[in-house]
A and B are shown apart, each in its own frame.
Chain A
């Protein structure tokens, strides 16, 4: 179980994340929703160990991240929001680099990399540098890299951006089966439809604070607007119809 307790982060005078607490049980897929600048990425960066929390604790199965950050990171897989990877390397080289940095032995790593490349439909492009890859291909490389070391917790930051329909369907199935094995997924996204299709629960963040938690599974096949309505209500979103009208006015007359 992942427990986040009173997580706070301040950048100078700006309070980016303010006492955020939630739990993620084994088998759960938690959708982490929030408008731009609400603190989602900061929280994610703290959970994967890229940022030091100002205060608060992160516990994975009762063990604090700060007590043994290396052991903690060994159990976490991460797919960043933008496909930040070394594009001068081939997918094969990148996955091997990641596996070796994670301390995996060479022979099983080679087998695993080859299989993952094949399953993520990247095998034919394995000798091309990733500079020539589309965004979707790069996302697939990042997901393969996140799964390489058999993590217990998978942190996905907008993993569906740039993916084609087939890859999206594969990702969705994968997420469901990963969680069904008793592992955990934190799924940070802007997309309500994906949260409703993929997640068991949703946490909504606004201005650095957790403002709502929502059980999704019951609504999955029901009223698809419910999560969106809740989001609009709890994050003080304005009514966008007048803004849209104004945009059209500017387009036509300015």
Chain B
């Protein structure tokens, strides 16, 4: 019985709720692709660190090695910890049995304790798989950095320490998310609970994405750790470096303090999580009305599709999460560049923002909501209104992908170029408009109304193309903007040429919209290419 219900809860954690059967099959392929990319990344990271540590191990002075080891051990804890927290945020809507479980399972001759126990078991297995996989992926790195004549522990002890403390760091990541959700679910009034937890989920997703450059920047904090910087007291992965030193020896006053902070934080999130589960267990009926939501204002109508789009983005945790999470990744990469000279920041950041926010907006509106409710759009589609309806998509894309990055970048570009920043901003604007046209090539969908088929390309292919576009865009668009600010003639030429390409793409898009019906069903690209030879 335990096995059956645990299996049911476990399977439900993979159900995203918005995919068709074919889409769910395709999603499994995407997950396999992502896992292989993570393992590939772990191997690449190890290879890169081999070069660094060969030099450090060979050096007669153990100081540089020990400084690097402390920072890189913090990174080794941070990576699986981040993955564990991210996965938990993704399933945070399912951390306790939901209203369907309540209605379906409670009438059966099983106890409430049994339902909660199996749900917790399923969650543990689910998170355990991701924690285990991420620890395995980072183990070669942890093993490699500890194989040195200067290392404080023997390699088997180092690997055991990494696994034990790393697992603890992951559990901390999970419990931190659980405790935030638990507090919200128990303290927020039922009528507001759904909206607030959805907003918090997006905020946590955004926060995790914003932290990505800082996680990868941890190896650069070797000097901060060595100089006993107080900033590290606010960096959770550093706490686990302290715990490792406390447990396995080698702790000084500073790392011991880091460890004690970590243990206290662990105890707090553990206690809050346990307490909130206990409260939810005692007040299980709270989950029944979790979806009540009140919107007491009436929107000033901006357009049928625009209002529908904004209402969905405001209220759907999934769509909000995708938009906020991916946009935050771009913002984080942009903020990371601000640590370098201003020219470097101004050159790359606009494209990072446009790229991430554009992709985030497009991905968000491509995912369906209540797909079978789209019959009302099917019934009312007409040639006369289609282009106007679809213009809501371009408006949204222009506002998010063009306007937001320009507003964020304008002060920085002004600080660097003065009045000539106008030319750089104009070049950035045309590039952003061109990017929107590229993103909307072949688009014929009202937001959220078309089914979605993930994995039309392999994950590896998408990753390579994405990274390539990101790197090339940073270089090319950055160079164009700087050249425009320095030479007005060059700026005019860039704006004219890019503007002409954008207009041509726009014309093709509008022709497509005028001549073709709306798209409500997504398809995998045909495996067999038609040569179109028959008349």
Contacts and interface: CB of A to CB of B under 8 A. Distances in A.
Interface of A: 48-50, 70, 73, 76, 78, 80, 82, 84-90, 92-93, 96-98, 100-103, 106, 127-129, 131-132, 145
Q: Which of A85, A86, A127, A129 has the most CB of B within 10 A?
A: A86
Contact of B293 (A73, A76, A131): A131
6 contacts: A50-B379, A84-B373, A87-B370, A97-B308, A101-B376, A101-B377
B293 A100 contact: no
A129 B379 contact: no
Nearest to B294: A127
A29 B311 CA distance: 38
A89 B312 CA distance: 8
Contacts of B289: 132
B311 A93 contact: yes
A82 B372 contact: yes
B509 interface: no
A129 B315 contact: yes
Contacts of A128: 292-294
Contacts of B373: 84-87
B385 interface: yes
A85 B370 contact: yes
Contact of B315 (A73, A80, A88, A100): A88
Contact of B311 (A48, A89, A98, A101): A89
Nearest to B314: A88
B304 A88 contact: no
Contact of A132 (B293, B296, B316, B384): B293
A70 B296 CA distance: 35
B202 to A, nearest CB: 15
Question: 9 nearest interchain CB pairs?
Answer: A131-B291, A101-B380, A100-B304, A132-B292, A70-B382, A84-B372, A84-B373, A88-B315, A129-B293
Interface string B443-457: 000000000000000
Interface string B324-368: 000000000000000000000000000000000000000000000
A98 B372 contact: no
A221 to B, nearest CB: 37
B290 to A, nearest CB: 9
Given A49-B379, A128-B293, 5 more contacts: A88-B316, A92-B298, A93-B307, A98-B376, A98-B380
Contacts of B372: 82, 84
B403 to A, nearest CB: 25
Q: Which of B298, B369, B378, B380 has the most CB of A within 10 A?
A: B380
B527 to A, nearest CB: 19
B244 to A, nearest CB: 46
A82 B295 CA distance: 25
Q: Which of B296, B308, B378 has the most CB of A within 10 A?
A: B308
A97 B304 contact: yes
A102 B380 contact: yes
A129 B295 contact: yes
Interface string B171-200: 000000000000000000000001000000
Nearest to B380: A101
A97 B301 CA distance: 10
B375 interface: yes
Interface in B90-116: none
A92 B307 CA distance: 13
Nearest to A49: B379
A90 to B, nearest CB: 6
A131 B312 CA distance: 13
A102 B304 CA distance: 11
Contacts of A129: 291-293, 295, 315
B310 to A, nearest CB: 11
A85 B380 CA distance: 15
Interface string B304-324: 100110011001100000000
A88 B379 contact: no
Contact of A50 (B304, B378, B383): B378
A88 B312 contact: yes
A80 B375 contact: yes
A93 B375 CA distance: 17
Contacts of B312: 86, 88
B375 A84 contact: yes
A132 to B, nearest CB: 4
Contacts of A88: 311-312, 315-316, 369-370
